[in-house]
Structure 1
C-alpha cells in the first residue's frame, strides 16, 4: 500500500502511570538549553527521564500549571488522547500527550510523598491512565501524529519546534515536499519558508554570532527569507537555500545579535568588556523596516552608527517618498472626483490657481531631484592639511576679520562679547558649505530650540542679512556666502511662503549652490544639484541646547574607533581613580558609570559637571576624524587643577584622529595649560579678539611666539591690545 494511505493498528487500554515513559526527544523540548537527543536504548534511564520531566514541567511548574489547575478543578477528562507506542511488553513511550503525563507524574509524586490536595482529581488515574496504543513502529507515523496536532492542528507549537519537525520529515526521512504537505495539511509556501529559514539559520550558526541563537529569534529568520528585497540583497540562492553574499549576511547577523565591545590597551592587545550593544533588530516589524531602507546608503550608515532601526528609517528617503506618493495618489483621486462633476464658473479661478501650483511643483522636480532631501558628502575622505587661514568678511559683529596663523590646536580668547563664539560659528558654516542644515544648526542650538519646535518666522529673523566667509582649507581656497530674501516667483504658494535662503559655496574648482524656501505651516524645500561639506565638523558649547541623542552617536563612534577605553582610562588616572567604565545604557540614552566605590552603576549626571564635560568633549573626536572640532568656553565647569591634564589629552586625541581643534576660553590658566602641555609647540596658535575703532581685530601668535612671551613674564593673552 502506498505510504500516504497506510493504515496503523491502534487500540485503547488503561495502563499504570509508572509504565509510561516521557519522550526525551520530543520536539516540544528542542529549544530548551538542556535538551540533549538520546538513543532509544536510553529512553528508560532514570537520569534521562528526570531531565525530560524537568524540561516539561518547567521552573516552579510554569509549563504545566494550567493542566494542574484543570485536573484539580475537573478531574482527568480524556478530551485529548494520550498516544503511545510499545517499548517492550508492558512499558510504553508517550508519543502524544507528554505534558499531561508529566503533570500526572508530578501530582502522583506530591500526592503520595507530601499528601497534597489534588482537588477533584481521582487518584485511581495514577494506575489507570487511558491511552491509545499504536503498534506500528514506523517513526514517520509518530511524527505525523505530532505534526497534525502541533503544526496544522489546534495545539500549535512555536515556529522553531514546528520547523524542526518538518525538517526531520524532509531531511532525515526523505519525504518529498508533496508528501509532507499532504500528510501535515500545510501549504508548500509554509513548508519552504520553514526550510529556507532553517538553512539560513545554519549560516548564522556558522558565523561569529552563532552561539547567540535562541528559538525566539527564529521568527526573524522566517521573515527574512520571505522578504523579496532582503533576499535580493543577500543574493539568495533558492536552489541551495543559501545566501551568496557573505558580507551582507554577516552585517545582518550582527544586527540581530548583541555586539561585544572591545577594549584595546596601549600595546594594541584587545580584550572584551562585559558591556555590549543590544541587537538592532528584534521583531518581524524591524525586519520589514530594514527591507524598506536596505538600498538607502544614508539610512544604512545611520543604522550602523546608532543601531536604531527606527532612527535609520526616519533618516531615509523612504518616509519622504511614502508621503509624496500618498499626496500624489490623493490628488489623482480628487481629480477623478472633479472629473465627474459639473464645474461652476466661479470655481475656475481656484482651479487655475491649483493648476499653477501643481505646474510649479512639476517644474521644480524637473530642475532638481533633491527637493526636501538632505544629501551630504565630503570632498575628500582624507585631508593632508586643515585650515591655514580664515577671513570673516561679514558675519554678525565680525567684519573683515583675518586670521592667518592657524595650526592644529587654536586658542581664541577675548573679553565678553568680543566675537569668540561668533568666530566658531563662522568656521562651522564654512565647513558646511552649501548645506542649509549647517545654518539651521547654528541658529537653533544657540537659541536652545529643538529641531521639531523651530518657529520659521523666528528662524528667519535670526539670519544675518548677508554672510561672507572664506579660508584656505587643505591647500585650496574655500568660500561660503549666505543671503535670504523673498523671491518674486508667482508660482510659489504665497499664502504659506516666507523667505528663501540662498547658499553659494566654492572649494577649489567646485562651485555649489542651494536654495531653501521657508514656509509657515509646511515643510521647507531645498533645491540643489548636490550638497557637499569640507569635512566632518562638531560644535560643542555649554550654552547650546543639550541633545542627548547626539552624544549617543558620539559614543557609538568612540566605541567603533576603540577610543572609549582610552577616554575612560584618562578619567580613571587623572580625574577619579575609582571609575572603571562609562557606557551608554539604554533607550533613554543615559550614561552609566561603573565605580569601585559603589555596588550599583551610577548615572553620569550624579557626578560633577567637570567630569561630565571632560567625558563628553572627549567623545567628540571620533566623530570629527579628518575634520574639525569647535569647543566654546573650554574650561567651563572643569576644575583648574584638571585643565592642564585635559589639555594634554586633547592634544593626544587631536593627533589620533587627525582633527583640527578650535577652542575659546576666558581663562588664563586654560591658555597657559595648552602652552605648557602641548607636545609640539609649533602645532599651537593663540589669538586674542580685541576691539579696535569699533571693529574686532585679531592679535595672533604662533605657539613658539606665545611660549616665549609666557616664559618671559606673566603675560595675559586676554588683555592683548
Structure 2
C-alpha cells in the first residue's frame, strides 16, 4: 500500500503533500480542486511513469493532439506533454518545473518527497556516438542521448539539439525523443515488471468493453459471488450474470445479462438503469485488482444515495480480502455521510481515510480527516466538501 504521497507540478497540483493514506481513501472537494489530477498522479507513480500509461491519460483528457493531417509532430506532441505540467509551463533547463511524484519522508529539511520518486520533464538533448569495447575487445558503436544543461556554452549543441521527454525513477532513466509520426506505444524501457493489477474507473457509468474483459478474468471463480452480492444491492432477485455477444446497428459488442429468481428469460443489465451498471464496473474492477490498486473517479455517478453505504461496505470488505488499496473521488454529501458510517461503525478505523482538497488562491491544499473528526463534521453538518 501507499502510505503517503507527494506531488509537484502535476496539472493543477503545484506542491501537494498527503501524509497519511488508508486502505480505502475518499478524496472530496469542490470543482476544480484537483481530485482527478490526484488520481492520475497516483496512477503514474504506481505505473512507474510508464509512457504508454501517460498517453492513455492524455487521450482520456482529450489532450493527445495531432496536426491538421492527423499526424503527430513535434509541435503537437509538445502541446500534449505540456498539459501535464502545472500551469502548462515547461522549462528545458529548470528542474523546479519538473513533475515529481513519490512517497513522503522526513529529514533534516522537513517532510519531502523521497528519492524513490518518479520524475517527468521535457529536455533538450543531442545524440553522441560512443565506441565501447565488446567481449572480444572490438569497438562497438553505440548512440547515447546527452541532456543539455543550462550552463553549457557550446552553441553548436543548441543548434543540433532536439526535444525529448525525460523519465526516471529509482530503477530506470530514459530520454525519449518527441518526433514526427513516432509510435510511443512501442517503448518498454522500465526494468520493473509492468503493473497489471491497477484499475482506473472513469466517470462513465457503463464500460461495456472493459467489463467484458474483466468478467472473463474471474469467470467460474469464487469472485463471481462477490459480483452477484454487489448487484443484489439494487436487485435482490439476481441469481446469475454472464456476458453475451450482441450485434446492434452493425456493431458487435458483449453485453451483461442477468437471470432473475423465478424468471425464465434473461434480462440485459443496461435495461436496469445506470446505478446497477456502475456497481458492476466498480466491483469487476475491484475483483481484478488483487494485491494492487483501484481508482474511481466520481464514485457517486449513477448511484442513488440509498445504495452508497451498502456499496462502501462491500468495497471495504473486498479490499481487505483481496489486499487492494482504493482511491475514490466525490463531491457528494451522501457519499461522505455513507463513508463516515462505515469507518465509524463497521470497519477498522485506520482502514478508511477522508481527504478534502481546497483551492486557495490557485494552490491546492489538503485537509485530512480521521474517523472521529469526520463523525463530528457529518453529525453537526459542518461543510466537509
Say if 2:197 is the partner of 1:536.
yes
Aligned-partner SS, 1:516? strand
Pick from 384, 401, 409: which aligns with 2:16?
401
Pick from 626, 631, 641: which aligns with 2:291?
626
| Correspondence 1:696-707 to 2 at 5 A | 696-707=364-375
After the TM superposition, which of the residue ranges 591-600 and 401-410 deviates more from structure 2?
A: 591-600
Say if 2:214 is the partner of 1:550.
no
Tell me how far apart the structure 2 counterparts of residues 431 and 515 of structure 1 sit (CA, whole Å).
Answer: 20
Q: For residue 517 of structure 1, what is the aligned residue in structure 2?
A: 177
| Correspondence 1:620-659 to 2 at 5 A | 620-659=285-324
Number of equivalences: 318
Q: Could you say which structure has the higher helix fraction?
A: 1
User: CA separation of 1:535/1:580 partners in 2, compared to 1, >3 Å: closer, same or farther?
Assistant: closer
User: CA separation of 1:480/1:543 partners in 2, compared to 1, >3 Å: closer, same or farther?
Assistant: farther
Tell me how far apart the structure 1 counterparts of residues 305 and 162 of structure 2 sit (CA, whole Å).
Answer: 48
| Correspondence 1:61-76 to 2 at 5 A | none
User: CA separation of 1:396/1:520 partners in 2, compared to 1, >3 Å: closer, same or farther?
Assistant: same
Tell me how far apart the structure 2 counterparts of residues 588 and 622 of structure 1 sit (CA, whole Å).
Answer: 22
Aligned-partner SS, 2:25? strand
Aligned-partner SS, 1:400? strand
Aligned-partner SS, 1:482? strand
Tell me how far apart the structure 2 counterparts of residues 434 and 677 of structure 1 sit (CA, whole Å).
Answer: 34
Tell me how far apart the structure 1 counterparts of residues 376 and 210 of structure 2 sit (CA, whole Å).
Answer: 40
User: CA separation of 1:668/1:387 partners in 2, compared to 1, >3 Å: closer, same or farther?
Assistant: same
Shift of 1:547: 5.8
Pick from 385, 388, 391: which aligns with 2:3?
388
Q: For residue 691 of structure 1, what is the aligned residue in structure 2?
A: 359
Q: For residue 383 of structure 2, what is the aligned residue in structure 1?
A: 716
Residues 390-425 of structure 1 show CA distances to partners (whole Å, capped at 9, x for unaligned) of 111220110111001211111111110110000100
Pick from 238, 254, 258: which aligns with 1:589?
254
Residues 206-245 of structure 1 show CA distances to partners (whole Å, capped at 9, x for unaligned) of xxxxxxxxxxxxxxxxxxxxxxxxxxxxxxxxxxxxxxxx
User: CA separation of 1:557/1:716 partners in 2, compared to 1, >3 Å: closer, same or farther?
Assistant: farther
Unaligned ranges ≥5, structure 1:
1-385
Residues 606-626 of structure 1 show CA distances to partners (whole Å, capped at 9, x for unaligned) of 220111001110001122111
Residues 140-169 of structure 1 show CA distances to partners (whole Å, capped at 9, x for unaligned) of xxxxxxxxxxxxxxxxxxxxxxxxxxxxxx
Tell me how far apart the structure 2 counterparts of residues 677 and 448 of structure 1 sit (CA, whole Å).
Answer: 38
TM-score with structure 2 setting the length: 0.74
Q: For residue 269 of structure 2, what is the aligned residue in structure 1?
A: 604
Shift of 1:483: 1.7
Query: How big is the alpha-carbon RMSD for the aligned residues of Structure 1 and Structure 2?
Result: 3.1
Higher relative contact order (CA 8 A, sep 6+): 2
Tell me how far apart the structure 1 counterparts of residues 220 and 238 of structure 2 sit (CA, whole Å).
Answer: 21
Shift of 1:675: 1.0
Shift of 1:448: 8.9
Shift of 1:655: 0.9
Aligned-partner SS, 1:589? strand
Aligned-partner SS, 2:315? helix
Unaligned ranges ≥5, structure 2:
65-69, 85-89, 91-97, 106-113, 130-142, 144-160, 246-251
User: CA separation of 1:677/1:502 partners in 2, compared to 1, >3 Å: closer, same or farther?
Assistant: same
TM-score with structure 1 setting the length: 0.41
Pick from 104, 116, 121: which aligns with 1:478?
116
In 2, are the aligned partners of 1:635 and 1:643 still within 8 Å (CA)? yes
Pick from 153, 164, 176: which aligns with 1:500?
164
